[in-house]
Amino acid sequence: MLLSRDQIAACVAKDLQENWLVNLGIGMPTLIPEFIPKERNVMFHSENGVVGMGPPPLPGEEDLDLISAGKGLITLIPGGAYVNHTDSFAIARGGRLDCAVLGAFQVAANGDLCNWRLPHQKSGSVGGAMDIAAGAKRVYVMMTHTTREGDAKIIAERTYPLTAGGVVSKIYTDMGVISVEANELILEGIAPGITPEEVQSATGAHLNIEKVQEISLNL
């Protein structure tokens, strides 16, 4: 059975390490924080100048001047700080993000990330994606394994406009978890009830399935 969005988020959350500073792209990645164990210190960066993004505010405690990059109301954790936009991107570009978790339209076997513009569009919304993808120590992608039409999003060579070249190191989808290694894609985790062959057939690049393990949903 395909993983739910929350289940994918839980898979990513499991891999975000103690003391990491992490940037979350808009959409699905914003589900991740609630799956981080309370005792684990993972800090979130929002590129609009928030270092130490906390959960949404309790009712009655909203502040319209405190939002995430995805424009949702948030809070600041104790010990968080506000910075301006250049300082925020100095954090991103300067290699201070241990990880960025981003959505994608396509990921190529060499780690190319395509997530800002579809080929038929005259223009796209790039936001901070190019800077963050170019600067983060690790770029993880979180997405559905295929398009709504069933087309593969993980492919041998990208056909969509590039966001950043060769940056993706891990891909989390509703079918499993794939590690992007120098010369191959390794299927590490698989959703319960799905076969490696099914994942391979939904993927446009060769997968090494030798070491695949079923994902535990008691994350």
Partner 1 sequence: MQNKRAHTLVEAVNVITDGMTILIGGFGGPGVPEILIDGVCELGVKNLTIVSNNAGTDKSGVARLMDVGCVSKLICTFPWAKESYVFKELYDNGKISLEIVPQGTLAERIRTAGAGLGGFLTPTGVGTDLAEGKKALTIDGKDYILELPLRADIALIKAHKADLRGNLVYHKSARNFNPIMVMAANHSIIEVSEEVPIGNLDPENIITPGVFVDSYFVTGQYKVGSGGK
Q: Does 93 bind partner 1 (CB under 8 A)?
A: yes
- Position among 86, 159, 201, 216 found at the interface with partner 1 (CB under 8 A): 86
- Cβ-based nearer residue to partner 1, 16 or 129: 129
Contact 28, 143 (CB under 8 A): yes
Query: Rule CB under 8 A: is residue 128 a binding residue for partner 1?
Result: yes
Residue 65 touches partner 1, criterion: CB under 8 A: yes
Q: Rule CB under 8 A: is residue 18 a binding residue for partner 1?
A: yes
Q: How many Å apart are CA 165 and CA 69, to the nearest integer?
A: 23
Residue closer to partner 1 by CB (options 86, 216) is: 86
Of 85, 137, 206, 211, which lies in the binding site for partner 1, with binding defined by CB under 8 A? 85
Contact between 21 and partner 1 per CB under 8 A: yes
Q: Which of 120, 145, 131, 134 is closest to 198 using CA atoms?
A: 145
Decide if residue 59 touches partner 1 (CB under 8 A).
Answer: no
What does each C-alpha distance from 64 to 33, 72, 74, 110, 158 come to in angstroms?
A: 21, 9, 9, 41, 39
The answer to whether 40 and 116 have CB atoms below 8 angstroms apart is: no
Residue 195 burial (C-beta neighbours within 10 Å; 0-12, 13-18, 19+)? exposed
Interacting residue with partner 1 among 1, 126, 217, 219 (CB under 8 A): 126
Q: Residue type at 209?
A: I
- For the question of residue 47 being annotated catalytic, the response is yes
Q: How far is CA 86 from CA 34, 50, 151, in A?
A: 28, 12, 38
Please report whether residue 61 would count as binding partner 1 according to CB under 8 A. no
Which phi and psi angles does 135 have, rounded to 5°?
A: -105, -25
Question: Residue 5, interface with partner 1 (CB under 8 A)?
Answer: no
The C-alpha atoms of residue 186 and residue 162 are separated, in whole angstroms, by 22
**From 79-87, 103-111, 137-145, 186-194, span contacting partner 1 (CB under 8 A):** 79-87
- Least spacing, CB of residue 41 vs partner 1, in Å: 4
Active site residues: 47
Contact positions toward partner 1, by CB under 8 A?
18-19, 21, 41, 43, 45-52, 63-67, 69, 71, 76, 78-86, 88-96, 117, 123-132, 134-135, 161-165
